[in-house]
Structure 1
């Protein structure tokens, strides 16, 4: 059983990869989107239960990406 299965979903968050590709830290992203580092860390580590559309939009704006770049559903279940 994967970590995502434990959380009751199969959504993978690619925040680490996007941050690395953009040379951005979690602290910098936090300041840009107005979300605490703790909450972003929860999202980054796959422990988030939900995400608001406003937060998703802010993340996509700050990272110059689409929701599909940030989130992926594991279909191998």
Structure 2
């Protein structure tokens, strides 16, 4: 996959649980789990905005592009 979601890394850096992030952002733990595992096909900018605000980070701290052709 070209886009890697590093949400688990940011949660660990901020010492925040999935439950706490879910409550702060207002999305279900199942949706956060889908983001963490890379199962989500899309993420709304409003959700990304809320996650970045809750984790005090930039979108690039959460999302990473890896070129499959180079691997």
> What TM-score comes out, normalization by structure 2 length?
0.93
Q: Structure 2, unaligned stretches of length 5 or more? A: none
> What TM-score comes out, normalization by structure 1 length?
0.86
5 Å-filtered alignment, 1:54-69, equals 54-69=46-61
Aligned length: 69
Q: Structure 1, unaligned stretches of length 5 or more? A: 5-9
CA RMSD for the aligned pairs? 0.8
Q: Higher relative CO (CA 8 A, sep ≥ 6), structure 1 or 2?
A: 2
